[in-house]
Structure 1
C-alpha cells in the first residue's frame, strides 16, 4: 500500500495524558509510604527533580532499568529516609499500567490522519508493559500500524538508533517522507533532527524554548498538527 507519508507520534503528553496519571500514581505511592511532617506537595518537586535527572541520563544512553529502580530511593534519601527503590518502582509501575487517560481530541486526530492515508506509528520511550497496557486500555492500540518502545529495542530517543530501527521496521519509510510529532524538545525533536526527520514540537502550554533545539514547526493544538501535515510535501 502506498501512503501519503509516515507520522511518528510520541505517546506521553502528546497522545496520552501522562502528567495526570503520573501525579495520581505518585500520590498513591506517597500515601502508602508517608514521611513524617512531609506533605505530598513538598515531596513531589523533589521526585520530579530526581526523575528528570535520571531521564536525561537515559536519553544519553544509560541503562533505563538500573536508573529507574533508584529514583524513589534517591527521592526518599533527600528527606533522610531509607526506602526500597525497586519495590516502590514496582508499585508505581502498577499504577501507571492503569493510567488510561487520553488527551482530549487525540483519538479524533489520529482517526482523521489515518483517513488522509498517513501511516501512523507510535515511537515512545518507556517500559514495554506500561506503554502497551495503556494503549490497550485506552483502545488506541489498533490506531497505530507499529508501536516502537525504547525498552523493547534497547535504544531511547533521541538516540539515532531508535529512529533507524523504527524506519527499518516500516517498509518505504525514509527521512524525507516522515514527520515526528512530540512534546519533548530533548527526546522527540532532537532525535528527529539527529536522523534528518522533519518534526513538529507539540507545545499546547506555549512553553518558552530556551533549549537551543530548534524544531521545524510548532503546534499548540491537534488542529494545528492536522493543518501542518496537509501543508508539508512528503517526497
Structure 2
C-alpha cells in the first residue's frame, strides 16, 4: 500500500447520495407549499421534481427548478421567486446524510494514504453538505470548483489537488460517479479513474475507466490490486 499515495473523491452521488437528498427536499417543499395532495399526485410530482432538478444539475442558481415545478403544479403557498435560491441554499444541504460504512472506509484509507474531495458546485452549499455530514474531519484537503475558478472535467482542478497533496498523478486514484466529468476529467490529468456506478449504468462513451465498482467496499481491493500490478507508485 505504500506505493499508492492518494485517493481523491467526488462528493455528490459518490460520497453522498444526492438522489435521497432530492427526495427529502421535495417532501420539505410539499409540506411547506401544498395542502391535501393525494398519494398518486405525490408520486407524479416527485418524478417531475427530480426531472427538473436533473436538468439544472451543476447550475448554481436553482430558481428555475422550483419556478418550473410550481408552474406545472401550482402550490397553495408559492415561494416568492426572489427567495427561492436562499431557500434552496438553506435547506438542501441539510437533506444530506452519510452512510456510516462510507465514513469507515474513508478513514481506513486515510490511515494509509492521503485523501481529498474534488467537487463541482457552489461553495456555500458544498461546504454545508460536507460539514453537516462530518466529512470535513475525514479529508486532508477539500477543493470546491466555485472557490478555485474551474471545475471538472478541467484538468487544472485535479492538478491543483495533486499539488496541494504533493503527489504525482501516477501515485493517485480518483473515485467518481460521472463518467465524463469525473473519469474523463481525472484521466486528462493522468490520474487513474475508478467509476462508482451503483446503478450499473451502461457506459456509452469512449472513456474507459481504470476500474468500475458498484460498492465502496471494493475500494481497498482496487488499491491493493493496482499496487500489485505495479500500476500505482
Scaled by the length of structure 1, the TM-score of the pair is 0.82
CA displacement, residues 59-95 of structure 1 (integer Å, 9 cap, x when unaligned): xxxxx33x43322223333457886444223223222
Which residue of 1 is the match for residue 191 of structure 2? 197
Contact map agreement 2:150 2:157 (CA 8 A) in 1: yes
Q: Aligned pair 1:95/2:74, yes or no?
A: no
1:180 aligned counterpart, secondary structure = strand
Which residue of 1 is the match for residue 46 of structure 2? 44
Cα distance in 1, alignment partners of residues 214 and 150 from structure 2: 28
Cα distance in 1, alignment partners of residues 47 and 109 from structure 2: 37
148, 168, 178: which is aligned to 1:153? Answer: 148
117, 121, 127: which is aligned to 1:122? Answer: 117
Moved over 6 A (4+): 35-38, 80-83
Q: Aligned pair 1:16/2:12, yes or no?
A: no
Contact map agreement 2:120 2:152 (CA 8 A) in 1: yes
Contact map agreement 1:7 1:179 (CA 8 A) in 2: yes
* RMSD (Å) for aligned C-alpha atoms: 2.7
Alignment of structure 1 residues 185-224 onto 2, 5 Å: 185-224=179-218
Runs of 5+ consecutive residues of structure 1 not aligned to the other structure: 59-63
Contact map agreement 1:14 1:182 (CA 8 A) in 2: yes
Relative to structure 1, is the Cα distance of residues 16 and 165 closer, same or farther in structure 2, using a 3 angstrom cutoff? Answer: same
CA displacement, residues 185-229 of structure 1 (integer Å, 9 cap, x when unaligned): 232112112322111011223233234432221012222111001
Cα distance in 1, alignment partners of residues 36 and 181 from structure 2: 37
1:158 shift after superposition: 1.7
213, 231, 234: which is aligned to 2:232? Answer: 234
151, 169, 177: which is aligned to 1:183? Answer: 177
Runs of 5+ consecutive residues of structure 2 not aligned to the other structure: none
1:133 shift after superposition: 2.4
**Larger Cα Rg: Structure 1 or Structure 2?**
2
CA displacement, residues 12-58 of structure 1 (integer Å, 9 cap, x when unaligned): 22222322222111221133223997833222333333332333xx4
Contact map agreement 1:98 1:134 (CA 8 A) in 2: yes
67, 86, 89: which is aligned to 1:73? Answer: 67
Contact map agreement 2:62 2:84 (CA 8 A) in 1: no
113, 121, 129: which is aligned to 2:109? Answer: 113
